[in-house]
Amino acid sequence: MNDHYFRKGFGLKHEVADSLGDDYHSSIIDRIREQDFSTTAGGVTIRLAKEFGFCYGVDRAVEYAYQSREKFPDKRIFLVGEIIHNPHVNEKMERMGIKIINPGSDGIFDFSHIQADDVVLMPAFGVRVEDFQTLRDIGCVLVDTTCGSVLNVWKRVERYAKDGVTAVVHGKHYHEETKATVSQATKYENGHYLIVRNLEEADLLCEYLRGNILVDEIRKTFGHKVSAGFDFTKHLVSVGVANQTTMLASESMEMARRIGEAMKDRYGEEQLDQHFRNFDTICSATQERQDALLELIEEPLDVMIVVGGYNSSNTNHLTKICSARVKTYHIADAACIDPETGVIRHKPVDTDGEVSAAGWMDGAARIGITAGASTPNNKIGEAIERILQTRGVDATV
């Protein structure tokens, strides 16, 4: 774009490699990988999913933050929200002198203190079109770490808007990525969007599309999750499906199928192409981690541990997948495991709060481990060490 906008780093990969390794590397993870993703000690076997932790997009975003600090040692550097959904990584950003700009209670970012001489990082989730334009107008240096998979969804939503097709986005309306994604529709005068959270909401939308319920009923659910000026009778005549990249892949595909069926029932199969579009915008890393987890839980396991931030969408979906098959504990980090008391603090699936469980390892001989795409290896390794310490094994030697 110009010499104030950077999307490909600064060519300082080698210069920051040691710092990244020191901050996020785990020797125990390396050893388990070399042992076919398995280790046995203290009467317990730990099996690690074959795909876990930092994905390419997250790895790239974190590396670009380090490169930015290396490139601009004397400049003020700001980050629009969290770079990824992991508290330890975001805390590290702050210790590096990168100041996080948090949104206000209304979800809006205040950039009034940003100056042209500052550097501003955009997170892996991306930022809304209006936020990008505000920062561009200020004239500050912009370092864009938006994930490539997210950009692919943006292109699809923008294309829908250009063609006058409403984007139906599977996502969480309050999530940074979804906000950034749906804002792409606003680039065009006739661009509109509607956000669908889950299959229950998708079914409600389908009932409306089939003409079985009235506008007032559907507006109760979606009125706060649509574009400005949205007309339910006008803007759902032609729709195209997209998704927040970290949603449950199987749910996104099923949602698209159901909406497609509803549009076929309404307009007929011969007219379907004029009223419904669907393109695969599933993130490959999200899919790979979910597939690896499904493979892991095919094995006989007594307990499953999922490591990652409680506000991480993809981590919560990993928890949901395995909790249906095996006793599962979603922990934020190793500190949630107390080897001395045998107590684990965790967030149960589909809840917001943390609870404690005693004796969680009693009788457990096979424990599975996975982690969300925003969880660094060192935090996964620390959790494994705590598990083994609960069985009296010092895994640090």
Residues labelled catalytic: 177
* Terminal C-alpha separation, the chain: 50
Of 44, 20, 49, nearest in space to 33 by CA? 49
- What is the per-residue DSSP string for 12-40? -HHHHHHHHHHHH--HHHHHHHHTTTEEE
Please, which residues have CB within 8 angstroms of residue 45's CB and are 6 or more apart in sequence?
A: 38, 39, 365, 366, 367
Query: Rounded to 5 degrees, what are φ and ψ at 41?
Result: -165, 150
Please, which residues have CB within 8 angstroms of residue 339's CB and are 6 or more apart in sequence?
A: 386, 389, 390
**What residues does 100 pair with on adjacent strands?**
79
Q: What sign does the dihedral 56-62-66-69 (CA atoms) show?
A: positive
11 vs 87: CA distance, rounded Å: 27
CB atoms within 10 A of CB 40: 12
Pair of tokens at residue 128: 């809304």
Q: Is-contact 81 109, C-beta < 8 A?
A: yes
Q: Is-contact 83 89, C-beta < 8 A?
A: yes
Look up residue 83 and give its DSSP letter: S
Sheet bearing 303-307, strands edge to edge: 38-41, 44-48, 366-371, 303-307, 328-331
Of 172, 170, 114, nearest in space to 138 by CA? 114
Pair of tokens at residue 279: 């393109």
185 vs 167: CA distance, rounded Å: 8
